[in-house]
Amino acid sequence: MTPLEIREMEDDLRPWATRLIREHWGSDDIVSRGRIHRAADLPGFVALLDGQPIGLLTYHREGDQCEIVSLNSLRERSGTGSRLIARAVEMAAAAACRRLWLITTNDNLAALRFYQRRGFRLAVLHAGAMAQSRRLKPEIPEVGIDGIPLRDEIELEMVL
């Protein structure tokens, strides 16, 4: 089996990243903490298997903070997401970031499990934040995974 390759996002993969983001996030934009990110335009890492992209992590760095904006794996439970996270941790540490953080929503129990198993801690509950996010991105639904009302943003962090 060909090993999984993790490489930095390059322009040749941006059209693929744009399609992936649209398919999995409902538009080109991802909202976190009242900020709109055009995720496919951000720096990031792509996971390739046999030369084909199967995973994407995008991030936004500001000062000594690095936010993971998006993480998608087309092959769940294959180690792709874990490898992308590990690469993001390496990048953030090399860039002298003191904190790597991300936002997920209150309905995304799988993400809460995934990130905590990889060393992230629950940092802040932003109660009611999804109302503000919907003003920026109206296509965000009222009800999320498993019929859970989509109300809150949950911030997870890894102190580096």
Cα–Cα distance between 101 and 50 in angstroms, integer? 30
Which runs of E-coded beta strand occur in 39-152?
Answer: 44-49, 52-62, 65-73, 99-105, 121-126
Length of the chain as a residue count: 160
| Lookup: tokens for 127 | 């109660």
> Is 152 in contact with 109 (CB distance < 8 Å)?
no
First to last CA, the chain: 33
This prediction's pTM: 0.94
Beta bridge partners of 122: 156
The owner of tokens 């809150």 is: 152
pLDDT in 10s for each residue of the chain, 160 residues: 568 999 999 999 999 999 999 999 989 899 999 899 998 899 999 999 999 999 999 999 999 999 999 999 998 877 999 999 999 999 999 999 999 999 999 999 999 999 999 999 999 999 999 999 999 999 999 999 999 999 999 999 999 9
Backbone phi, then psi, for 86, in 5-degree steps?
-60, -40
| DSSP H or E stretch at residue 39 | none
Domains and CATH numbers, the chain: 5-159 (3.40.630.30)
